[in-house]
Chains A and B, each alone.
Chain A
Amino acid sequence: MQRSRWTTLLFVGPAVLWLAVFFGAPVVATLWVSLTDEQGVDEDSKFIGLANYTRLLKDPYFIDTFWVMLKILFIGGAAVFAISFLFMTILREMRFKRFARAVMFAPYIVIPVALAILWGVLLNPQTGLLNSFLDLVGAGALKRVWLGPDWIFTSVVIGLIWLSTGFYTTLLCAGVDRIPAHYYEAAELEGASRWHQFVRVTIPMTWDVIGTAAVLWVIGAINTFGFIFAFSGAGATPDKRTWTPAIYLYLETFDPLNGSLSYGYGCAIAVMLMLLVAVSVALIRRAFRREAVQF
């Protein structure tokens, strides 16, 4: 159908303009700033090439945050996906399925700070609900200093699992619900066991959804910020054992407690994060690539 060029521009223009100014330009600028020693708004900066990046690779703090991120990504991810698959299969044939799903999903839409406060209240060693509950049921021996150095990271990861699982369970459930029942009926008639149905019907037919879920988890895990920032810092600088690259980046660039603000260095971290996301997403997409199944 005929349409003037102006019409197209009218429809697409505002979004493109907005993206150019508040998305495209900042990304390019971040790339540039990461190559400078930008210290602050009023400071002069000069081009220092890849110095920020070489410093990054030798920075023990950054390397620590990188490990934290990897642990969240893989250990947390394994737990989230294992539990989500379990929940998906159990929810499918459970009563009050919608209610259970709605409750599980709820943390995903709640302010991360509020979740962090809740989680903190639960785990506070002196006044926390968990320890008081353990006392109540006579299992005082299991009490731990959950927010202390030994346990803080575990507590964070379990918290992340708690607030993420509902989302991924729902995502997988949505994928399974789209599979027409007759595939299962046919499999049943052919004598396939439930295990075979899971492997031969459920997994292949939700393959795309699983791939999407994996992509989302990776993006989320690499950028983990709000929950940890609020939880392990209780409103102040978070515990170093739980710093993720995103938190480190924020502290390097904006934390008033930190003496020297280094925008250039922060931007280098941001670029690393972006590259990491891009590479991981590309890898996952490749791993999950196959011909689309129509059903």
Chain B
Amino acid sequence: MTRWMDEEAGPVVRPYALVGGRTRSSGDALDLVALVTATGTTPSGGFVPGPEQERILALVTTATSVADVASEIGLPLGVVRVLLGDLQDHGLISIGRASASERILKEVINGLRAL
């Protein structure tokens, strides 16, 4: 992607062209801190991930938050959600959202104290 970017001029391809003009997908409801992990399976039903989706898949070999994915890929959140929605629909990523337990919060407090 980098070679298509001119930092001064911005991207050659408008972000929404990457997602075929779509602004809605099953990725809409993805929370900013939902964790995305590549499942490592091959795409089903003739789906071919685009270059940006390939970059996402390479990034999420370990669990990565939606916010980190958007920040790392450098595309607007809305676009990233559409790309993630497609990947999820085709079983290429799994999305997790663990909630905070008492034990986790205590661990966070101790971790912050140790900073």
The answer to whether A and B assemble together is no
- The residues of A with any CB-CB pair to B shorter than 8 Å are none
